[in-house]
Structure 1
Amino acid sequence: MNTTILDMVKIEVTKLLAVGIIYPISDSHWVSLVQVVPKKYGMTVMRNQHDELVPMRIQNSWQATRKDHFPLPFVDQILEKLARKSHYYFLDGFFGYMKIYIAPEDQHKTTFICPFGTFAYTHMPFDLCNTPSTFQRCMTSIFLDLL
Structure 2
Amino acid sequence: NKSIVYTHHSALKYLFDKKDAKARLLRWILLLQEFDFKLIDTRGAENYAADHLSRLENPYENVFDPKEINETFPLESLNKVVHQDPSTPWFADLAN
Larger % of strand: which? Answer: 1
| TM-score, scaled relative to structure 2 | 0.30
| Structure with bigger gyration radius | 2
| TM-score, scaled relative to structure 1 | 0.22
Larger % of helix: which? Answer: 2
